[in-house]
Amino acid sequence: LEFDLVIVNGLVVTHEEVGEKDIGIKDEKIAKLTSKGGLAEFKAKRTIDARGGYVMPGGVDAHVHLQEPPLFGKGSTADNYETGSRSAIAGGTTTIITFAPQQKHEDSLLPILTATHDKASANCYSDYSFHLLVSNPSATALSEFAALRAQGISSLKIYMTYAALQLDDGQILDVLLAARAQGITTMVHAENGAVIDWMTRQLEARRKFAPKYHATSHPAVAETEATYRAICLSGFLDTPILIVHVSSPAATEHIRQAQRRGLPVYAETCPQYFALTKKDLDAPGFEGAKCVCSPPLREGRLDNESIWDGLADGTFTILSSDHCPFLYEDAEKGKKTSISEEFPVGHFKYIPNGLPGVETRLPLTLTAERLSLQKFVEMTAANPAKLYGLYPRKGAIVEGASDADLVIWYPASEKEPFRLKNEMLHHNCDHTPYEGKTLKNWPRYTVLRGEVVYDHDGAGIVGKKGYGQFLKREKSSLPGPRSDAEWDIRE
């Protein structure tokens, strides 16, 4: 037996264990996981000595927006499948799940899936899959859920806000019921759109337009109410949901209570909600536009701490980036498309919502040193793989079962801290909300299906565009409906 690659002397970290192990890779798979020294008698085409380093499953980022039509404001999306997936591998992420977005005027979902395949195929540096974004749950769309599952799509996202996307409660129930029947997990963007619109009018009446008012216009109560409403609707039909990008302590508490009651309610948070606050929106001039996302950055340190608490106690199932980059210097319409003759300092409601972050997700979280190494792997790789039907092929290091997707790091103590600059990143966005932040760590190598695709101290990106493959997914392996019975009205 000759391995394609062996990684020796590293500290192997999975969500289940930490130990000094050697890894033998053959035909894109983890072929052997042995105690240290256990591969000495075998030949290998390439050996990486990871002495003193951590070897972890490659990151799985289950929330990435690439090449979508203007749905969250009118800005130009910065990243396509090529630049977004390139940025992913440079930050230690080997699998991304992006969105195949249905627009309200579209009836059928299957052509949208095909069109999204066309955007991604032959362009990706990382492996990838799609969530269907459902904004028009027509009879046709609902009838296609079975076909989506057959094509390896086991999750959808729906919105409770944004005019272009928002569903009413009846439509939400339609989606949840059809999803339940097919073993599909529904991701919910939980913010109350009417509250946001009302607050926007209140601010406009007071002529408050600066970027920081984006946060004022999206108060925590809009998230809290919508989160609890989504939990109620999911509980009513006994069907699993994942609340995406949770930012507020009160919403987190509703999720925690639902989980205590045994409901299949899952939750996601993102680094921006522990690393940034509303103060970052209050930067001089229009700079705050770089930090406009929804839900918005919250008030202060207590909100950041509530995110860490939710990560530590398991309320959050996964930590994703919500990478959704827009150009600050938008060639078409000026700074983030919001500055105009009418609004010389911009208007918060026209700033497209979303931050870049697929590349910084893992380094920022590791730098914070708030999670154990195992918990870090659980939140950023194992759990997203389980929730979205990729486990143990992804998010794990299981002999014979896992793809050889790995990220190798050296402990922070062995590296000089450095200040992040946007030019260090591999995305196509012209800014990062983390500009100037001190980072203590960066991936040394990223390995995708046995190939070194990122070599930080060598040539950087060494993977090939198009090596990334589409992943057909199974249904979630986390608990689903509490009853197997079909949902029906019972007298």
What residues make contact with Zn ion under the rule CB under 5 A?
189, 322
Selection from 273, 274, 235, 272 nearest residue 255 by Cα: 235
Give the largest Cα separation in the chain, rounded: 76
> Which residues partner with 407 through β-bridges?
56, 446
Categorise residue 17: left if φ over 0, alpha if ψ from -120 to 50, beta otherwise: beta
- Residue for token pair 């069109």: 115
By DSSP bridging, strand 5-13 and strand 18-26 are: antiparallel
With respect to ligand URP, which residue has the nearer C-beta, 24 or 354?
354
> Tokens standing for 91?
């930050």
Q: How far is the CB of 165 from ligand URP (least distance, A)?
A: 8
Instruction: Answer yes or no: are the C-beta atoms of 53 and 410 closer than 8 Å.
Output: yes
Q: Which residues bind ligand URP (CB under 6 A)?
A: 65, 72, 189, 245, 293-294, 322, 324, 353-354
With respect to Zn ion, which residue has the nearer C-beta, 174 or 322?
322
Q: How far is the CB of 293 from ligand URP (least distance, A)?
A: 4
With respect to Zn ion, which residue has the nearer C-beta, 402 or 469?
402
With respect to Zn ion, which residue has the nearer C-beta, 398 or 461?
398
Q: How many residues does the chain have?
A: 491
With respect to ligand URP, which residue has the nearer C-beta, 11 or 293?
293
- Of Zn ion, ligand URP, none, which one does residue 95 interact with (CB within 5 to 8 Å by kind)? none
- Of ligand URP, Zn ion, none, which one does residue 391 interact with (CB within 5 to 8 Å by kind)? none
Q: How far apart are CA 382 and CA 59, in angstroms?
A: 8
With respect to ligand URP, which residue has the nearer C-beta, 69 or 139?
69
Q: How far is the CB of 133 from ligand URP (least distance, A)?
A: 9
CA atoms within 13 A on the CB side of 242: 30
> Tokens standing for 257?
């209570």
By DSSP bridging, strand 185-189 and strand 241-243 are: parallel
With respect to ligand URP, which residue has the nearer C-beta, 72 or 228?
72
- Of ligand URP, Zn ion, none, which one does residue 323 interact with (CB within 5 to 8 Å by kind)? none
Q: How far is the CB of 324 from ligand URP (least distance, A)?
A: 4
Q: How far is the CB of 361 from Zn ion (least distance, A)?
A: 13
Q: How far is the CB of 354 from ligand URP (least distance, A)?
A: 3
Q: How far is the CB of 324 from Zn ion (least distance, A)?
A: 5
With respect to ligand URP, which residue has the nearer C-beta, 130 or 442?
130
Which residues, in sequence order, are CB contacts of 201 under 8 Å at separation 6+? Answer: none
- Of ligand URP, Zn ion, none, which one does residue 72 interact with (CB within 5 to 8 Å by kind)? ligand URP
* DSSP string across 84-135: HHHHHHHTTEEEEEEEEEPPTT---SHHHHHHHHHHHTTT-SSEEEEEEE-S
Selection from 29, 86, 76 nearest residue 358 by Cα: 86
Q: How far is the CB of 72 from ligand URP (least distance, A)?
A: 5
Q: Is 56 helix (H, G, I), strand (E, B) or coil?
A: strand
